[in-house]
Amino acid sequence: MTRRILALLLGALTATLAPAASAQDQPAPFAREIGAFEKADAQAMPPRQGVLFLGSSSIRMWKTLARDFRGIPAINRGFGGSQIADSIRYAERIVIPYAPRTIVFYAGDNDLAAGKSPQQVLADFQAFAAKVHAALPATRILFVSIKPSIARWEMIERIREANALVEAYAATSDRLDFVDIASAMLGPDGRPRPELFRADGLHMTPAGYAIWRDAVAAALRREPI
């Protein structure tokens, strides 16, 4: 009987520990995407002091950066589905090594969709800026405002609150800037312009990226000398 009880206890312990071991074996979020960036860097490292475009799928899918920003060494390090915390997690691998003079940052959209509050979006962006500036004190960070979209229109009040919080924070430092793309993406009825979005109502058409291009270019021209 004692031997049987011992076997049952060992079985229960194994079952308890197995999920933990399995969880530890799981790859970190976006490990494949970050690994692909590092592989590309090993083959051809982007120039230092360029402009790093960083963030979620709206950055990843911006395929016309070279044409939109001629003469500017633009680096695209967008990874779809990411939140601000993911850019913090991987800053040592896909931000710091490039020593960019400017970071064009778009995130927060997925954060709100995942249930984070506008206040958490601000706190995460503050943490991201602090991490970058600890290593690269002269780097400017342009926060592209969270876009209003057809698919996520129910979030519009939280989007507006998060944008207002980040804009106020950006105004406290000449190393930060807030790029408003939201206003131009709304039509006369105050709702997202359908021609700016793909069929999913979330990702953008070339017309949507044209708005971003103009707004970001204007912000880059404001860059301190």
> What are residue 103's DSSP bridge partners?
52, 141
Return the amino acid letter for 116.
K
Q: Could you give the domains of the chain?
A: 49-221 (3.40.50.1110)
Residue 178: CB atoms within 10 A of its CB come to 18
Residue found by looking up tokens 């609150």 in the block: 161
Show pLDDT as tens, one digit a residue, over the chain (225 residues). 455 554 544 455 454 444 544 545 677 899 999 999 999 999 999 999 999 999 999 999 999 999 999 999 999 999 999 999 999 999 999 999 999 999 999 999 999 999 999 999 999 999 999 999 999 999 999 999 999 999 999 999 999 999 999 999 999 999 999 999 999 999 999 999 999 999 999 999 999 999 999 999 999 998 664
The secondary structure element, H or E, covering residue 218 is helix 206-221
Q: What is the pTM of this model?
A: 0.88
DSSP 134-195: HH-TT-EEEEEPPPP-STTGGGHHHHHHHHHHHHHHHTT-TTEEEE--TGGGB-TTSSB-GG
What distances in angstroms separate CA 44 from CA 48, 52, 92, 98, one per listed residue?
Answer: 12, 15, 18, 12
Report the alpha-carbon distance of residue 184 to residue 118 in Å, rounded. 21
Among residues 121, 113, 117, which one has the least CA distance to residue 145? 121
